[in-house]
Amino acid sequence: MSRVYNFSAGPAVLPEEVLKEAAAEMLDYKGTGMSVMEMSHRSKAFEEIITEAEQDLRELMGIPDNYKVLFLQGGASQQFAMIPMNLMKNRVADYIITGQWAKKAAKEAEKYGKVNRIASSEDKTFSYIPDCSDLPVSEDADYVYICENNTIYGTKFKELPNTKGKTLVADVSSCFLSEPVDVTKYGIIYGGVQKNIGPAGVVIVIIREDLITEDVLPGTPTMLTYKTHADAKSLYNTPPAYGIYICGKVFKWIKAQGGLEAMKEKNEKKAKVLYDFLDQSKLFKGTVEKKDRSLMNVPFVTGDADLDAKFVKEAKAAGLENLKGHRSVGGMRASIYNAMPYEGVEALVEFMKKFEEENQ
Ligand SMILES: *Cc1c(COP(=O)(O)O)cnc(C)c1O
């Protein structure tokens, strides 16, 4: 068996310890004589899995009692619709546009009400986060929406926007559990887990209780109503059971690493190696304003598309996989999520040094 260093943006690298544990439990989960994939979601064994997963997540993030944790399906993209359907009481929402995912979310919300794009960094290909300290937040906005870490462009909000008292909704798909977070600043925190937590198929929604109501837009499907899932503790219908089980293992892994403070420290250390190299390189350039750099997704270019392609190809041959940038921007992108070991980033930087020498 040989494992590569996988820099994929998602689905992405998972902790090896977690995969090994899951493998060991594949045929017989804790004496049940069956795999978690094969068991009823109403069984005692699964009830323990989902309850413990929620408890561990609450502990890791310090989620207050007046927030619900929901394990849903449909990916982050389904939340683009679910959020306005449930929150747009005045049919008005403000969106801050910092990349493709925020753009898509805003476009979807437009189906349900008026969307004000109160800030954007599209003028410079989303290479920075706009100043959000004094935005023209709409009087009647039901919420202000951000994509906190921009997976494609490699930017991250280092400071949350001043929403002037309005509810903040954040897509944290690609920075989930990468550092400590003050949950009380948000109305909704949500993310698809396939970036930094688990396998595709689960989306976690952390939502303040007062936002969970029956007063949703007319025609909102039962399955797209937060209250349905909150009332049923994410067991209204069959949840993505195996995915939740893996997420639970990752939560325990993060706890064993020392929690989110320790995760942040490790992530900063990893990102620094790569950014420091980029900052002195004569061949490679980071594409993002330094103050807004993501700890998770690091895009870079040589400035020559052919050389970029050569780099990606040779890196792959050296066991450094999935370094091709998003199809909308080109170049390279190294996603260095929680489960990417320091050695992986070191190996990447060593390879970049060598490539630079050979391609002066
Ligand atoms: C990947 C990603 C999405 C889309 O996730 P799906 O689960 O595929 O719908 C949305 N937002 C962000 C920030 C992402 O990184």
Of 295, 210, 201, whose CA–CA distance to 240 is shortest?
A: 201
Q: Is 171 a catalytic residue?
A: yes
**pLDDT tens, residue by residue, 56-69:** 999 999 999 999 99
Around 48, how many Cα atoms within 13 Å sit in the side-chain half-sphere? 8
Tokens of 255: 């706890």
Q: Which residue is catalytic, options 68, 101, 156, 292?
A: 101
Element (H or E) spanning 348, and its range?
helix 342-358
Q: With bands split at pLDDT 50, 70 and 90, how would you rate the model's confidence at 100?
A: very high
CA of 80 to the centre of ligand 1 (A): 10
Q: Which residues line ligand 1 (CB under 6 A)?
A: 10, 75-77, 101, 147, 151, 171, 173-174, 192, 195
151 CA closest ligand 1 atom index: 15
Query: Which numbered atom of ligand 1 lies nearest the CA of 150?
Result: 13
Q: Reply yes or no on whether the pLDDT at 329 is more than 90.
A: no
pLDDT at 8: 98
Question: If you average pLDDT over every residue of the chain, what do you get?
Answer: 97
Does the annotation mark 158 as catalytic? Answer: no
Mean pLDDT, rounded, for 151-162: 98
Residue pair 203/18 in contact by the 8 Å Cβ criterion = no
pLDDT higher than threshold 80 for residue 1: no
Q: Which of 8, 73, 77, 148 to mutate to test the pocket of ligand 1 (most atoms within 8 A of CB)?
A: 77
pLDDT over threshold 90, residue 12: yes
Q: How far is the CA of 172 from the centre of ligand 1 (A)?
A: 9
| pLDDT at residue 360 in the model | 82
pLDDT of 259-268, one tens digit each?
A: 999 999 999 9
DSSP-derived secondary structure for 35-48: -GGGS-TTSHHHHH
The pLDDT score that the predictor gives to residue 279 is 98
Predicted confidence (pLDDT) per residue in 267-289, tens digit: 999 999 999 999 999 999 999 99
Is 222 annotated to bind a ligand? Reply is no
Q: What is the mean pLDDT of residues 219-241?
A: 98
Mean pLDDT of 166-173: 98
Q: What is the residue whose two structure tokens read 């991250």?
A: 156
Instruction: Give pLDDT, residue 60.
Output: 98
Residue 311 has pLDDT above 80, yes or no: yes
pLDDT at 15: 98
CA of 274 to the centre of ligand 1 (A): 24
Q: Residue 158: its pLDDT value, please?
A: 98
Of 151, 156, 205, which is best to mutate to test ligand 1, by the most ligand atoms within 8 angstroms of its C-beta? 151
- Provide DSSP, 80-145: HHHHHHHH-SSSEEEEEE-SHHHHHHHHHHTTTSEEEEEEE-GGGTT-S----SS----TT-S-EE
Question: Residue by residue, what is the 3-state secondary structure of 195-260?
Answer: CCCCCCCCEEEEEEHHHCCCCCCCCCCHHHCHHHHHHCCCCCCCCCHHHHHHHHHHHHHHHHHCHH
pLDDT of 323 over the 80 cut: yes
What's the 14 CA to ligand 1 centre distance in angstroms?
A: 17
pTM over 0.85? The answer is: yes
Residue 152: the pLDDT is 97
200 Cα nearest atom in ligand 1: 7
- H/E stretch holding 178 reads none
* Per-residue pLDDT reduced to its tens digit, 107-156: 999 999 999 999 999 999 999 999 999 999 999 999 999 999 999 999 99
Instruction: Report the share of the chain in percent with pLDDT over 70.
Output: 100
- The pLDDT value given to residue 2: 86
Helix 75-87 with 100-109: angle, nearest 10 deg: 40
Ligand 1 center from residue 77 Cα (angstroms): 6
Q: What is the mean pLDDT of residues 83-88?
A: 98
Pairing of strands 320-321, 5-6: parallel
Q: What is the pLDDT of residues 38-56, one digit of tens each?
A: 999 999 999 999 999 999 9
Nearest CA residue ID for atom 5, ligand 1: 76
